[in-house]
Amino acid sequence: MAGYVSDAVIRRLPGYYRHLQELEREGAQQISSQELGARMNLTASQIRQDINCFGGFGRQGYGYSVPELRENIGRILGIDRIHSMLIVGAGNIGRAIANSNSFEASGFQTTAIFDVDPQKIGTRIGDLTVMDMADIHDYIADNKVDICVLAVPANIAQAVAQELSSYGIEAFWNFAPVDLKLPEGCVLMNVHLEEGLQVLSYRMLNKRPR
C-alpha cells in the first residue's frame, strides 16, 4: 500500500489512465517516462516520481508496460470494480449525468435518481425513473450505494448531504456551488462549474494554457 500521496499526484492519475487507454487502443505495448511525459506535458522526472509513489511498475532500460501500468493505475483508482451511484436532483446537471454513457464504461453505474418536484417524479431519464426523495432512505437501506451525486441547489445541499450521510452514504460528488461540511469518514469531490470558468477567464487574460 502507498503511504501519504499528495492531492496533486492523485489528480494526475486519471490523466495517466486515460492516456494509457489511448496508447493501448493504438497498439502500444511499452512506453518510457520521457515519451509518456511528452504526451501529457509533464517531465519524465515527474512521471517517475508520481508512479513511484505506488511502487514503480517500470523496468530499467524498458520503461513501462502499457497494459500493466494501465491495469495497476486502474486498481489504484479503484475502477477495477463497479461503483453504484445515485443522483439527487433531476435538473439539468442530474439529467446529464444520468444520460451519460461514459461513467458506466469506467465502472460507475447510476442506479437511481431522486427529486422532490412532483412534476419530475415518475418521469423517465434514460433507463431510470425519477423517484420521490421521500423514499430515498428505504432505497439506501435496500440497495448498495457507493456514491451520491449531489445536483441540488446550494441552499439545500448541506442539509441533503447531512441527511444522506446519516443513512450511511460516505462518498459525495458535489455539483452544488457550496463547500460542504461532512462527518469524519466521508469523502467529497466538489465540481464548482463557475469557478472553472473563472479560472479559464483568468488564463485567457494572462495567456496561460494550463
Instruction: Give residue 56's identity as a one-letter amino acid code.
Output: G
Q: Where are the alpha helices (DSSP H) in 78-192?
A: 92-99, 102-105, 136-142, 154-166
Is 64 domain-assigned?
yes
- Distance CA(88)–CA(56), nearest Å, equals 39
Which of the listed residues 77, 99, 119 is the one where a domain comes to its end? 77
Query: Do 143 and 91 share a structural domain?
Result: yes
CA distance 132 to 122: 8
Pairing of strands 108-115, 64-65: unpaired
**Within a domain: residue 2?**
no
- Give yes or no: residues 89 and 156 share one domain: yes
Q: What global pTM score does this model have? A: 0.85
Is 200 part of a structural domain of the chain?
Answer: no
Is residue 191 within 8 A of residue 174, CB to CB? The reply is: yes
Task: Give the phi and the psi of residue 116 in degrees, each rounded to 5.
Answer: -105, -10
**The total number of structural domains that make up the chain:** 2
Report the CATH number at residue 95.
3.40.50.720
Please report which confidence band the pLDDT of residue 1 belongs to, taking 50, 70 and 90 as the band edges: very low
Query: How wide is the angle at C-alpha 102 spanned by C-alphas 78 and 164, nearest 5°?
Result: 60
Inform me whether the pLDDT recorded for 209 exceeds 90: no
| 94-137 pLDDT, tens digit each | 999 999 988 887 889 999 999 999 999 999 999 999 999 999 99
Q: Angle CA(173)–CA(177)–CA(183) in degrees, nearest 5?
A: 50
Residues 133 and 190 placed together within one structural domain of the fold: yes
Q: How far, in Å, CA of 124 to CA of 25, rounded?
A: 35
Based on the domain organization, do 46 and 88 belong to the same domain? no
pLDDT in tens, 6-49: 989 999 999 999 999 999 999 999 999 999 999 999 999 999 99
Residues 55 and 132 in one domain: no
> Do 159 and 91 have their domain in common?
yes
Q: 3 pLDDT band (50/70/90 cuts)?
A: low
Residues 117 and 186 reside in one and the same domain: yes
Asked if residue 91 and residue 37 are part of one domain, the reply reads no
User: Taking residues 72-91, what's their average pLDDT?
Assistant: 94
CATH code of the domain in which 37 resides: 1.10.10.10
Q: What is the DSSP string of 31-86?
A: E-HHHHHHHHT--HHHHHHHHHTTT---BTTTBEEHHHHHHHHHHHHTTTS-EEEE
> Domain limits at 24?
7-77
Tell me if 128 is assigned to some domain. yes
Query: Which of 21, 44, 77 is at the close of a domain?
Result: 77
